[in-house]
Structures are given as structure tokens and as C-alpha cells.
Amino acid sequence: MQLIDGKSLAKDSQARVAKEVEALKQTKNIIPGLAVILVGDDSASRAYVKMKAKACKEVGFYSIVHEMPDSISQDEIIATIEMINTNPRIDGILVQLPLPKHIDAEKIIEVIDPKKDVDGFHPYNVGRLVTKLDCFVPCTPLGVMKMFEKYEIELRGKNACIVGASNIVGKPMASLLLNIDATVTITHIHTKDLKAHTLSSDIIIVGVGKPNLITADMVREGAIVIDIGINRLENGKLVGDVDFDAVKDKCSFITPVPGGAGPMTIAMLLENTLKATQAREIK
């Protein structure tokens, strides 16, 4: 069993981004800019935004957080995004999810300029991903693909089971794997006999937010397990969706939680923002 060290890979990625940012500053007097919209006072969302802001500072980005109360109207959020769309200092826009129930997240995402959609959630980028065209790829699936690449894990022809069919992780992850010629099964809350699907898979990627969902009897010998889930237990411990201690000895590769996919998500956000900046600089 080999641990996939996402934390180390993320540090390497951030170092490369920082070097590119410094070069842009010195040669073009350009500083990448990222704007984050944070609605409400959800503690997990605040923690994520804080980590993203810290990472931006470390690589030399200009970043700003637009904090809004739970009571804000949808039209007010849209007006803020439209303002940011026209701001030449901002290359990337991120709306921290989830949003309050009275806000239509899909409509909010559609307002973002696709060229600044560094989360990769706009229908324009989703469509380009599905059709294998250059685009902004959602950060968590992109980070998983970078881990596969770094550890030289062959995907072509492999059977991959994705547990969770979200627009943020499951569906884009499936598109990326299909684009590289893996055979993909997507499972979800209504899937019958999840175990049958995971047992027949060379690769299992899970991200649903349910501790210990994937147990040892659901994993074949030599499988590759990517755990995207993150859950805080009553004792304060952070765990994924995989029963790590029981499963790890059956795997050829496995990601830990924390320290696996999580750090790579933030690293890919930085890479996507740099990509947006470089596209702006070329114009």
C-alpha cells in the first residue's frame, strides 16, 4: 500500500504558481486577482475561505472576500458578481457554496464570466469539459487527476467507480476519466447494491460526506482508493468516507484524510486563477 501525499503535491504546485506569479510581476507588472463571495456565517465555509485567502497570500495573489449576510437578496449577489466581472484586477471569481436556501445557486453561477469561472462550475466550462475542450476544470477532480499523474497511475481501460454524482465532484470526475479512456460507473443515493459496483472496480473515488461508507469488504485487493469526503466526528477527529484503517492494507494506493485530496483542491484553485491571469495577459 502506498499513501498518495496530496499535501506534499499541493506544496509543490503552490511553489510553481508562486514562481510564475513573481515572473508576471517582474516582466508584465501583472498580479493575479481572486474574488471570493461568502454568504452567511457557516463555520465550514468560513474555514475554507480563510484557507483559500491564506494560500492566495502565500503565492502573491491579490485577493478580496465579499462577505454578505444570510438575509441578502439574490439580486444583490448578482449585482456584486456583475461588478466583479468588469473589474480588470480580478481574474477569478469564486462563490463559496452552499448558499442560503432562498438563493438559486445555479443562477448565481451562470452570472459569473466563464473566463473568470475558476471553480469550473459555469455551464460553458461544464460543456467544454464534457466535449474534451480546454476549460476551467472543477478543482477537486482536477487535483485527483494531478495525483494520478504524479504517481504514474494508469487510467486507460481501468474500471472506475465514482461514489457520489454531484456537479462539483462526481460528474466532472467522470468526464475527466472518460476523457482519458477509463470505463466509468457513477453511483448515487438511489444506486442498488453499491458494494457490487465498488468490488468490480480498479479505482474507487468517493465523496459524499458519510464516514466509513466504504468498508474493507467493498474493496478488491490492489484497488486504488481516492477519498474526497471530509467529516468531523463528535470527538473532533477529521475522517473521510472510507474506513481507512480497515481498507488501507487491501489497496495499492490510497489517499489519507486529512492530507489527501483536500490540499490539492486549494492548489488547483490557485492554478486555475493563474491560468485565467495568463489568458488575460495574452489578450
Catalytically active residues, by annotation: 52, 96, 119
Q: Which among 51, 45, 47 has a CA at the least distance from the CA of 10?
A: 51
H or E stretch at 39: strand 33-39
CA 196 to chain centre: 27
Chain position carrying cell 517582474? 26
CA distances from 135 to 123, 127, 130 (A): 11, 9, 10
CA separation for the pair 101, 266 (Å, rounded):
26
162 φ/ψ sector (left φ>0, alpha ψ -120 to 50, else beta): beta
Q: 138: helix, coil or strand?
A: coil
Q: Which residues contact 234 (CB under 8 A, 6 or more apart)?
A: none
Reduced to 3 states, what is the DSSP secondary structure of residue 47? helix
For the chain, first and last CA: distance in Å? 47
Pair 35, 64: CB distance under 8 Å: yes
Read off the C-alpha cell for 82.
456583475
